[in-house]
Structure 1
Amino acid sequence: MNGQNEASVSATFPVLEEFLGYLEAIQGRSPLTVKEYRYDLQLFFRFMRLYRGEVPRGTELSDIPLDAINASYLRGVKLTDFYAFLSWLTRERKASAANRSRKVSALRSFFKFLSSKRNYLDVDPTAELESPKIPKRQPKYLSLEDSRALLQTVDPAEDDFASRNYCILTLFLNCGLRLAELCSISLDDISDDTLRVIGKGGKERTIYLNQACLSAIEAYLPERPKHAKDNKALFISRQGNRMARSSVQLMIHNYL
């Protein structure tokens, strides 16, 4: 499909934008969560239009406009539609239970907003919608010996960014940080022996840094690029930007 046609396909509708604005401004959801909810809801309603035969069979999902989604359409959504969507995700998209569970969360939040905040609906059709069961996985931990061995693989003679990588690994091993939390650390988040971390849902917590972390940060800071494009970020990429999660994942994978 060419760019002109893509621009003509409406990928949203007014109450969806209201909901996404509510998530960000009132509920304080992160931009990543808002982006994921947008995608999940667009996918659901495009599936609905295809499932109900409102567009020609075989139409690409990305080519299905959403400007037909209005109050009347939303009132016609039933619990069985959600089951059909989840079944399609499993069968056609091979979606994991975790992926389907996230989409259920997006649908519940949206239809709860429609029924309790916008008064579009008398009854919330997701009230009895259950989330797929996610198999519990036992967390994997590195032993003290494994942790030391991992840190010893960082060789300054072979890597110009050894002090940065060593610092990243040290904070990961000692602070229990999520990947997104580590990448979001800015210079002013560090104060003496404490680290301020903004976690999921914008929740802030303080982590006390042990001597290993303090020494790693102290060794890295003099080598941190002074003219980075993002002058606030703690960890800087080769291009001078704040390190992306994918870059940190790749770096750690290369050391394992």
Structure 2
Amino acid sequence: MVQHAPPAAGPFSNGAPGLDEKLAEAADQWLRRLAGERRVSPLTIDAYRRDLRQFLHFLRERRGASPDLAVLAELKPADLRAFMARRREDGVASRSLLRQLAALRSFARHLGREGLATVGVFDKVRSPKVARTLPKALVAARAREITAGETDMDEGRAPWIAARDAAVLSLLYGAGLRISEALSIRRGDAPVGRTDSLTIVGKGGKTRAVPAIAPVRAAVAAYLDICPHSLPKDGPLFVGARGGPLSPRIIQLTVERLRGALGLPDSATPHALRHSFATHLLSRGGDLRSIQELLGHASLSTTQIYTSIDKARLFEAYRAAHPRAE
């Protein structure tokens, strides 16, 4: 089974020296609960930790002293609006600010549940509106080009690294995985030989089974055949140049270089391959419920956005081909 690594350890106060001891202890308890009971992903835990530290740092500057539980209980809407304005000045987009407010609300609920403080300010301030944009899917031919691993950009790169990147990208498009999910696969779970499926633990600890189609298995096998590093069964399937765990940033940079080599738009990202997986399944008659399960979406409404993409592609084809479309 593919599982996420445990969240980064270390006291909350490590990144916020001088923080009130009771507040720091409450923050540590909150993060442990999210990771344990709620099974929130390590990446989200790290983001929430940063979000709370940034807010407390802002309060320290605004109040001239390190905040404590009593300060949080006395917060006014003006304090929160000032924080949101500061984040806007720092160039933070609405979607990131919305996530930060979600983290702060979660912490406030934790304080109330534990009887430590009642922080009601979040019920009095509206969250920023985020425009719902359709994911950018690639046409099938372009998606295949990205996952093929056969471009001029491979010159100067070790063949095994090119094969590794092609295998990772094949999992994103061929199985609809997120980068974090592909990189969390263990060597012992590699989809090769008779292993034609993967068990993935995605967001919120939700487990799902995804098929590993023949091109995906072939790409992974090609990588394993020439990988120079010893890969223990309980270790990561995909490793970096020195044999350590592969960073998601390496895959992102690979796709950036591929965009240049293939003349693709900026919207061609690793996550766009996952969007393409869903869009292409739907356009070929895939059932929305089945696609929801393959993607690991908790709600069908999240998956339904792909029906809008399919309609948009249909209208684009109509406008391009029909003699009376103009």
Interval of TM-score (by shorter of Structure 1 and Structure 2): 0.7 to 0.9
Match of 1:154 among 150, 156, 162: 150
Matches within 5 A, 1:197-216: 197-216=200-219
Q: Is the 8 A contact 1:228 1:241 kept in 2?
A: no
Matches within 5 A, 1:10-49: 10-11=18-19, 13-49=24-60
Q: Is the 8 A contact 2:187 2:237 kept in 1?
A: yes
Q: Is the 8 A contact 1:20 1:34 kept in 2?
A: yes
Match of 1:193 among 174, 191, 196: 196
Matches within 5 A, 1:30-69: 30-52=41-63, 54-55=64-65, 66=66, 69=67
Structure 1 residue 70: Cα displacement: 2.9
**d(CA) in 1 for partners of 2:107, 2:147:** 45
Structure 1 residue 123: Cα displacement: 5.8
Q: Is 1:119 matched up with 2:115?
A: yes
Q: Which moved more, 1:207-216 or 1:226-235?
A: 226-235
Question: What one-letter code is carried by the residue in structure 1 that aligns with 2:83?
Answer: F
Q: Is 1:81 matched up with 2:79?
A: yes
Residue equivalent to 1:241: 244
**d(CA) in 1 for partners of 2:15, 2:172:** 43
SS of corresponding position for 1:207: strand
**d(CA) in 2 for partners of 1:168, 1:228:** 16
Quickly say closer, same or farther: Cα 1:121–1:153, change in 2 above 3 A: closer
Structure 1 residue 208: Cα displacement: 0.5
Residue equivalent to 2:175: 175
**d(CA) in 1 for partners of 2:135, 2:26:** 40
Structure 1 residue 36: Cα displacement: 1.6
SS of corresponding position for 2:171: helix
Structure 1 residue 220: Cα displacement: 2.0
Structure 1 or 2: more helix by fraction? 2
Q: Is the 8 A contact 1:37 1:103 kept in 2?
A: yes
Structure 1 residue 225: Cα displacement: 3.1
Question: What one-letter code is carried by the residue in structure 2 that aligns with 1:135?
Answer: A
Question: What one-letter code is carried by the residue in structure 1 that aligns with 2:27?
Answer: L
Quickly say closer, same or farther: Cα 1:153–1:220, change in 2 above 3 A: closer
Q: Which runs of 5+ in 2 are unaligned?
A: 1-13, 260-326
Kindly provide the CA deviation profile for residues 193-232 of structure 1, in whole angstroms up to 9, marking residues without a partner as x.
Answer: 0012221122221111111112222222222234259961
Kindly provide the CA deviation profile for residues 16-50 of structure 1, in whole angstroms up to 9, marking residues without a partner as x.
Answer: 22222222222222232222212111111221122
Identical pairs, percent: 27
SS of corresponding position for 2:49: helix
**d(CA) in 1 for partners of 2:32, 2:212:** 37
Question: What one-letter code is carried by the residue in structure 2 that aligns with 1:70?
Answer: D
Kindly provide the CA deviation profile for residues 48-104 of structure 1, in whole angstroms up to 9, marking residues without a partner as x.
Answer: 12223x25xxxxxxxxxx4xx33322221123321111111112x111101111110
Structure 1 residue 149: Cα displacement: 3.0
Quickly say closer, same or farther: Cα 1:8–1:234, change in 2 above 3 A: closer
TM-score (norm 2): 0.65
TM-score (norm 1): 0.81
Structure 1 residue 152: Cα displacement: 4.6
Structure 1 residue 240: Cα displacement: 0.6
**d(CA) in 2 for partners of 1:129, 1:188:** 49
**d(CA) in 1 for partners of 2:118, 2:255:** 51
**d(CA) in 1 for partners of 2:144, 2:116:** 58
Quickly say closer, same or farther: Cα 1:188–1:203, change in 2 above 3 A: farther
Residue equivalent to 2:17: 9
Structure 1 residue 151: Cα displacement: 4.0
Question: What one-letter code is carried by the residue in structure 1 that aligns with 2:236?
Answer: A
**d(CA) in 1 for partners of 2:57, 2:251:** 35
**d(CA) in 2 for partners of 1:182, 1:196:** 11
Kindly provide the CA deviation profile for residues 169-213 of structure 1, in whole angstroms up to 9, marking residues without a partner as x.
Answer: 222221111121112121233461001222112222111111111
Residue equivalent to 1:61: none
Q: Is the 8 A contact 1:190 1:196 kept in 2?
A: no
